[in-house]
Amino acid sequence: MIEEEIKKWLTKGLNDLKTAEILINLPEEEIVTDTLCFHCQQAVEKFLKAFLVASSVEFGRVHSIEYLIKLCEKIDKEFEFLYDITANLTDYAIDVRYPDEFYIPTIEEAKKAFESAQKVKEFIFKKLKISERDLK
């Protein structure tokens, strides 16, 4: 049985990843890359937070993927490899959402963000020893 708070973080992360998957499967000229990258960042953030909740680690209201990985790494050194996989994802938390720092990621960046989010999802689910079916 999965603790309810962990289940909620994972479910929200999966919903962000599903939204990104819908976008990545559109014809390239229709892909909204900033929105796709934002949802990938959000998915990774929520997956990492689920692991931290499962490990009884407090993290506050933070969007930094690097910071969350650092917290996870204190529990399990294997998290170190996520730094390379998730490079630049934190930028999509805020920078792509507002016109102040106007930036539209390329299709290649969006595809990389999606692949990163998928890899983090697989890694976290493996670490937690659960599958998506366990969330239902």
pLDDT at 113: 97
pLDDT tens figures, 27-66: 999 999 999 999 999 999 999 999 999 999 999 899 999 9
pLDDT tens figures, 74-117: 999 999 999 999 998 988 887 666 677 778 899 999 999 999 99
Largest CA distance in the chain: 44
DSSP type of residue 3: -
Instruction: Tell me the domain boundaries of the chain.
Output: 4-135
- 1: tokens are 């049985």
Q: What is the CATH number of domain 4-135?
A: 1.20.120.330
Cα separation, 85 vs 69, in Å, equals: 11
